[in-house]
């Protein structure tokens, strides 16, 4: 999925930006290869043996130019500390040199890939990229309503819970970007280990599915009690941010997301420890209608 605006009058930076000097080119396409210039980036000629990732699927070979462009944009504007490039080098060393994973340990390799590439800081950088480059607003009424119709199957009414809003589109764009930056490592591993990725297999899905959990949160919140029972499904972000500004909430990290803890008097008239957490968006349920 391209991070594009459907409004022809505006275009996001990610689609208009081009490198203006060789120093802004961290990755390149060379036929079916995704090339990351580790030797030049880190000033170590001996790293050149790790520069090339083999892309072994035609549909991704056709998208390689876009993947390269988006990756260079991301590094130049959101990842200037080269966290992604460093992660690529670590994964390439694991695949080519250590060779501790093969077709019998795919799950272990996937866990390692997420641990090294999708750190909390990389995830936050991707979210920021999407926030700054998603220029549409499909929730805004317009005379022709073309944007909203595009996200309604066959322009027919269906359950409101299956409709798309701006948060859903941003989640999809973040997942799509995660797929792009993962794909060089994934396909190189698949090629070197002769792993079957035919239509009858779900190998690629197994690589991608965790992205739906990592990025599957909206900007509003849900409220739970101390026994993890949902009290309120959706609370406006502004309401929670107001409590944060009043310093009445305690933030606790929770994997790729977080919780805000506080104490509230509930229906039983007693004070209970409760927490807000970003609203979980089950994209699989929504996507089912559109496939």
Q: Residue 153: what pLDDT?
A: 47
The last residue of one of the domains, among 194, 214, 234, is 214
Domain that holds residue 157: 13-214
Question: Could you read off the pLDDT of 273-285 as tens digits, one per residue?
Answer: 999 999 988 776 5
Q: Is residue 25 part of a domain?
A: yes
Q: What percent of the chain has pLDDT over 70?
A: 85
Structure tokens at 54: 């083999």
In terms of domains, do 151 and 226 share one? Answer: no
In terms of domains, do 83 and 202 share one? Answer: yes
In terms of domains, do 221 and 192 share one? Answer: no
Q: Where is 275: in which H helix or E strand?
A: strand 271-280
Q: Residue 10: what pLDDT?
A: 55
Q: Provide the whole-model pTM.
A: 0.84
Q: Residue 132: what pLDDT?
A: 93
In terms of domains, do 139 and 80 share one? Answer: yes
Q: Residue 19: what pLDDT?
A: 95
Task: Determine the straight-line distance between the first and last CA of the chain, rounded to whole angstroms.
Answer: 14
In terms of domains, do 34 and 119 share one? Answer: yes
Question: pLDDT averaged over consecutive 10-residue blocks of the chain (291 residues)?
Answer: 46 89 96 96 97 91 94 98 98 97 97 97 96 80 50 48 77 94 97 92 94 92 94 93 87 90 90 93 60 37
In terms of domains, do 229 and 274 share one? Answer: yes
Q: Is residue 144 part of a domain?
A: yes
CA angle 254, 259, 264 (to 5 degrees): 145
The last residue of one of the domains, among 159, 182, 214, is 214
Q: Is residue 2 part of a domain?
A: no
Q: Is residue 7 part of a domain?
A: no
In terms of domains, do 119 and 60 share one? Answer: yes
In terms of domains, do 200 and 242 share one? Answer: no
Question: Could you read off the pLDDT of 142-151 as tens digits, one per residue?
Answer: 444 555 555 4
The last residue of one of the domains, among 214, 247, 268, is 214
In terms of domains, do 193 and 227 share one? Answer: no
In terms of domains, do 110 and 201 share one? Answer: yes
Locate all alpha helices (DSSP H) within 58-216, ordered by sequence: 58-61, 64-78, 83-93, 106-117, 120-133, 146-150, 166-192, 203-208, 210-214
- Number of domains forming the structure of the chain: 2
In terms of domains, do 188 and 96 share one? Answer: yes
Closest C-alpha among 178, 205, 71 to residue 118: 178
Q: Is residue 79 part of a domain?
A: yes
At residue 220, the 3 state secondary structure works out as strand
d(CA 218, CA 261): 18
């Amino acid at each position: 999925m391209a991070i594009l605006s459907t409004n022809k009058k505006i275009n996001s930076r990610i689609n208009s930006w081009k490198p203006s000097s060789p120093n802004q080119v961290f990755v390149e396409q060379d036929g079916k290869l995704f090339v990351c210039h580790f030797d030049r980036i880190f000033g170590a000629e001996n790293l050149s043996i790790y520069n090339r990732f083999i892309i072994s699927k035609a549909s991704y070979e056709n998208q390689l130019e876009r993947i390269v462009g988006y990756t260079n944009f991301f590094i130049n504007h959101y990842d200037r500390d080269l966290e992604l490039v460093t992660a690529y080098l670590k994964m390439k060393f694991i695949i080519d040199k250590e060779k501790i994973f093969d077709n019998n340990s795919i799950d272990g390799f996937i866990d390692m890939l997420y641990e090294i590439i999708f750190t909390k800081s990389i995830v936050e950088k991707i979210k920021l990229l999407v926030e700054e480059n998603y220029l549409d607003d499909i929730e805004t009424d317009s005379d022709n309503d073309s944007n909203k119709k595009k996200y309604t199957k066959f322009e027919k009414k269906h359950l409101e819970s299956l409709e798309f809003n701006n948060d859903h589109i941003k989640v999809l764009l973040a997942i799509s970007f995660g797929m792009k930056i993962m794909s060089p490592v994934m396909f190189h591993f698949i090629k070197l280990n002769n792993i079957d990725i035919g239509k009858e297999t779900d190998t690629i899905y197994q690589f991608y599915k965790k992205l739906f959990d990592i990025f599957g949160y909206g900007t509003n919140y849900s409220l739970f009690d101390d026994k993890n029972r949902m009290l309120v499904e959706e609370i406006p972000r502004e309401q929670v941010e107001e409590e944060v500004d009043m310093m009445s909430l305690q933030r606790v990290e929770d994997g790729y997301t977080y919780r805000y803890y506080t104490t509230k008097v509930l229906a039983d008239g007693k004070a209970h420890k409760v927490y807000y957490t970003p609203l979980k968006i089950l994209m699989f349920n929504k996507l089912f209608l559109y496939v």
